[in-house]
Amino acid sequence: MEEIKHNINTLLISKKQLKYLEDELQYTFKNKELLRNALRHSSIKKSAMPFERLEFLGDRILGVVIAAYIYRKTAGNEGEMAKMHSAFVCAESCYEVAIKLGVNNIIKTAGPALRNNKTVLADAMEAILGAIFIDSRRDYRVVEYIVTRLWKPVFKRYREEDQEPKTQLQEIVQANTNEVPLYTLLSETGPKHHPVFTVSVTALGNTIQASGFSKKEAETKAAREFLKNYINDK
């Protein structure tokens, strides 16, 4: 009897824990059991079916929201968009968001070691998104708002670390205006076998110059310098 009682208690998720997570998500569930199912990992056999179903749904919804975000915010080709999509929906990114929300302190698993497991928490994050979608009566806009807000640090890190400076600058400019950065070749000096190109980039009312041993190198340097100034000014 004591063992049965203990097993039941290990699956309990308090109202206080649910309220905390709802506050972090900025979404209040009408059906609290949906959120509880998303927080009872499939390692607990009796919870496997509802968790896995929510995870399946959340994974697909996340993929669509992120794809739409990339399409709306960037001007890259299909290959560049695919690279970004993979970075945003990967287990590492879902895990990062789950940790920030404190899911590891609430989730119920078959053993305590699983609560900080990267794959477990990534799956739980997807299950939570699936639960929100169902609870909101399949309101895509609700999930879109939550994902784009929670994934902001992931987007920012990708822009700062993974993207080529010219692409990053173009995204910033297009997010603020309907224009694109204007690159102008100012001069070509030095010997023919080893010329030096000086280029300017104009955007958002500012102009930056840089030089390089090719036009591409000069444009990249100009974009990188522009971004440094832009970030410092902000």
DSSP collapsed to 3 states, the chain: CHHHHHHHHCCCCCHHHHHHHHHHHCCCCCCHHHHHHHCECCCCHHHHHHHHHHHHHHHHHHHHHHHHHHHHHCCCCHHHHHHHHHHHHCHHHHHHHHHHHCHHHCCECCCHHHHHCHHHHHHHHHHHHHHHHHHCCCCHHHHHHHHHHHCHHHHHHHHHHCCCHHHHHHHHHHHHCCCCCEEEEEEEECCCCCCEEEEEEEECCEEEEEEECCHHHHHHHHHHHHHHHHHHHC
CA 197 to chain centre: 37
Tell me the sheet residues that pair with 184. 200
What domains are there in the chain, each with its CATH number? Answer: 2-161 (1.10.1520.10), 165-233 (3.30.160.20)
Residues 5-18 have pLDDT tens digits of 334 445 789 999 99
Residues 84-116 have pLDDT tens digits of 898 899 998 999 999 999 999 999 999 888 999
pLDDT band at 167 (very low <50, low <70, confident <90, very high): confident
Q: How would you label 157-171 residue by residue, b for 16+ Cβ within 10 Å and e otherwise?
A: ebbeeebebbbbbbb
**Measured on CA atoms in the order 175, 73, 95, 102, is the torsion positive or negative?**
positive
Whether residue 43 is predicted with pLDDT greater than 90 in this model: the reply is yes
Q: What is the rounded average pLDDT of the residues 205-234?
A: 86
Backbone angles phi, psi at 109, to 5 degrees: -135, 175
Whether residue 2 is predicted with pLDDT greater than 70 in this model: the reply is no
pLDDT at 68: 97
Whether residue 203 is predicted with pLDDT greater than 70 in this model: the reply is yes
Query: pTM for the complete prediction?
Result: 0.67
Catalytic residue IDs: 59, 126
Residue type, 139: D
pLDDT at 112: 87
pLDDT band at 74 (very low <50, low <70, confident <90, very high): confident
Residue type, 226: F
Contacts of 216 (CB under 8 A, 6+ apart): none
